[in-house]
Amino acid sequence: MFHINRGNTYGCITQWAAKSFEDHVGWRCPNCQNITLEIPRGYKCFCGKTVNPPTQRFPDMPHSCNSTCGKSRGPGCTHPCTEQCHPGPCPECPVMTTRQCNCGREKFAIRCGKEMEFKVSAFFFLIIAVGKK
């Protein structure tokens, strides 16, 4: 158990985070090993929506508000996380989207949020030329 000392800034986890922050960019949670860029100033659920979430009993996840996470999945994805309030980073977006190569000839199915550039090679044009004969 990590102590934040609600209303006091001298809890052991707050001191741990402040010391880690001096040595590195961000701090690593000693329990879940998630790297966070902010020092904890209060007790919130994983998604940050609920202050002082109630104690959960099995099978519910401790420190979770049990509501939908809703956090941003990252650059290139506009879909919020649909998982239940959870520790660590959000999973990849399950939505598939269609992208075109640079010349616009080919379309590719790709997972939302993936940054990829598609280039058609000269080999592709050679195959097209041979196929037309």
Predicted confidence (pLDDT) per residue in 14-41, tens digit = 666 666 666 667 777 766 677 777 776 7
| Per-residue CA distances from 13 to 36, 51, 117 (Å) | 13, 17, 43
* Domain-located, residue 25: yes
Each residue of 88-126: pLDDT tens digit? Answer: 889 999 999 888 777 777 788 888 887 765 555 555 544
Same domain, 36 and 9: yes
* DSSP type of residue 106: -
Q: What is the DSSP string of 1-18?
A: -----TT-TT-HHHHHHH
Two tokens at 103? 């010349």
The letter for the amino acid at 27 is: W
Read off the pTM: 0.57
Same domain, 69 and 103: no
Same domain, 27 and 65: no
Say which residues have a Cβ less than 8 Å from residue 122's Cβ, sequence separation at least 6: none
CA distance 69 to 21: 26
3-state secondary structure of 59: coil
* Domain-located, residue 24: yes
CA distance 88 to 95: 20
| 64-21-66 Cα angle (round to 5) | 5
The model's confidence at residue 131, banded by pLDDT at 50, 70 and 90, is: very low
Same domain, 85 and 118: no
CA distance 4 to 124: 60
CB atoms within 10 A of CB 79: 12
* Domain-located, residue 124: yes
The residue count for the chain: 133
Same domain, 102 and 123: yes
Q: Which helix (H) or strand (E) holds 127?
A: helix 122-131
Range of the domain at 26: 1-43
